[in-house]
A and B are shown apart, each in its own frame.
Chain A
Amino acid sequence: MEPNATIIVQTIAFIAFVWFTMKFVWPLLETAITERQGKIAEGLAASEKGAHDLELAKEKAAQILKDAKAEAAELIDQAKKRHSEVVETAKDDARSEAEKIKKGAQAEIEQEVNRAREHLRAQLATLAVAGAEKILERNIDAAAQNDIVEKLVAEL
């Protein structure tokens, strides 16, 4: 219990332990812990940045969606307009075509009528000559009177 030379040994041991801790234990721990703290801080900052980026991306996506909707609406409007235009043009085309066809048909009919008239005229001439022949059978020479008949036919 009384103090003795043990104190010298204990003091030396204590100093040695403190020195060793100071040189070989504390700095290593300090480095490891400080670096980890830095890493954790970095990680936290990164996650915060990630969250912020996500927020931005969401905003951007919403903006893009809005733009796309507006564009689509515009396109639909244009398409409707174009549609009515096309329909209008088609109607016009159809009308003019119909007109053309009608005109063609009328021309054809006229032609047909003319042809029939020619035909009829030729036959009537023949018929008239035949009739006249029948009437004048005995005293008229068909050949001698042919020029009169021709004149008659031309007058038809």
Chain B
Amino acid sequence: MSAESSSGYIKHHLQNLQVCSTENGWVWNTMENMECKGNFWTFNIDTIFFSVFLGILFLWLFRSVAKKATQGVPGKWQSFVEIVYDFVDSNVKDTFHGKSNLIAPLGMAIFVWVFLMNFMDLIPVDWLPGLAGLMGIDYLKVVPTTDVNATFAMSISVFILIVFFSIKIKGIGGFTKELTLNPFNHPIAIPFNFILEGVALLAKPVSLSLRLFGNMYAGELIFILIALMYAGTFDGFGGASLGIFGALLHFVWAVFHILVITLQAFIFMMLTIVYLSLAHEDH
């Protein structure tokens, strides 16, 4: 396999299936047509499809279990859902001491949804894009969390909640004070404080989404690189041994990745809870 086609393979795997609005109406991106590049009015159809599909799967599963939930001896699915519930609930109770009907369900939605989206990373990188290729779809990126749009959508929503709760609990005055009279409580230091606190505030959503995106993107990239090793499996001894080595690497990385996807989902949930409980705290 030449370096040219290797980089093509990688690029192909990292390209979203997009549809964008141009002067000629809505246009799909294809191998030949790259018009969507740099156009804001572009929708990553694969990201939207998989994330919404997984979100509905999560809600449908949890809702159907919750509806049938008995107070008696729970079934296996109910036990599973209850374990997730308990896990989220205990984390929220440990961190957040106020009363809120939003934070715990928010944490659960984030945890399960992010986990499911991350989980798509464990599906061998060529399966779904290959299937889509057979159906005439040129590009398909199956892991929504390797798309900054998905991660920023969540972190910006969380950011808006942080600002909303800060203002709701502390009032506009209190929130402004927090931004301007911290850490140096002196009028002269206001601009300095504001820059410092503003950066700290803005860093929250940025770090939240980029952490998840970076981890998943890197993990996906490594899966793609490992998949490259399979290319020469049927080209003699050298290619075959490389392929077997790749399969071994794939296994090891996938096992490790089980930890990574769970951990990243947990971190996203936990930091959301922490940020929102900070927003609820009055200094």
Contact = CB atoms under 8 A, between A and B. Distances in A.
B121 to A, nearest CB: 16
Interface in A60-78: none
A17 B71 contact: no
Interface residues of B, number: 50
A21 B109 contact: yes
B36 to A, nearest CB: 8
Interface of A: 1-11, 13-15, 17-18, 20-22, 24-26, 28-33, 35-36, 39
B106 A18 contact: yes
Given A5-B42, A28-B67, A32-B70, A11 B58 contact: no
A123 B119 CA distance: 151
Per DSSP, chain A at the interface is helix
A92 to B, nearest CB: 80
A71 B109 CA distance: 74
B22 to A, nearest CB: 13
9 contacts: A2-B38, A10-B153, A17-B109, A20-B59, A25-B108, A26-B104, A28-B63, A29-B82, A32-B82
Interface of B: 14, 16, 18, 20, 38-44, 47-48, 51-52, 55, 58-59, 62-63, 66-67, 69-72, 74, 81-82, 85-86, 101-102, 104-106, 108-110, 113, 144, 147-150, 152-154, 156-157
Contact of B108 (A6, A11, A26): A26
A18 to B, nearest CB: 5
Contacts of A6: 42-44, 47-48, 147, 149-150, 153
A77 B173 CA distance: 96
A3 B63 contact: no
A67 to B, nearest CB: 45
Contact of B59 (A9, A10, A15, A21): A21
Contact of B55 (A11, A13, A28): A13
